[in-house]
Amino acid sequence: MKTWVIVTAAFVSTVLGVQAYAGPTLDAVRTRGELVCGLRGDTMGFARVPANGQAAGFEVDLCRAVAIAILGPQARVKFVPLPAERRLGAVRAGEVDLLVSGTTVTFGRETTDGVDFPIVY
């Protein structure tokens, strides 16, 4: 449990540290009152979004932690399961506010796609 709290605090600190860069996205989340979080949705233990909508897993918990950091304890989160080929495009198109998913760090994604990878969790 203590490790989970430390990991969550580190992640939230990282997210809040880039607030100026992500300003328009944060403003949209605050206006909407809901964080739209993209994830795989089919990986037991990391992100599982079954038909009944009760999302569970580590990546789901990270999304909830970020939502609480932005919107407070009553934060709402919408989970959007995305296949690998749509994940980065969904972020660029504004379909999701945040992508929390196992995505390989590559030079091309960092340069051509403009992805800013945080520390690996």
Number of CB atoms found within 10 A of residue 52's CB: 6
User: 54 in helix, strand or coil?
Assistant: coil
Whole-number pLDDT of residue 19: 43
Whole-number pLDDT of residue 33: 94
How many angstroms separate the CA atoms of 75 and 68, rounded?
A: 5
Kindly list the structural domains of the chain, giving each domain's residue range(s) and its CATH number in brackets, ordered by start.
Answer: 2-111 (3.40.190.10)
Average pLDDT estimate for 28-34 = 92
What percentage of the chain has pLDDT greater than the value 70?
A: 79
How many angstroms separate the CA atoms of 49 and 23, rounded?
A: 28
Confidence of residue 66 (pLDDT cuts 50, 70, 90): very high
What one-character DSSP code corresponds to residue 21? T
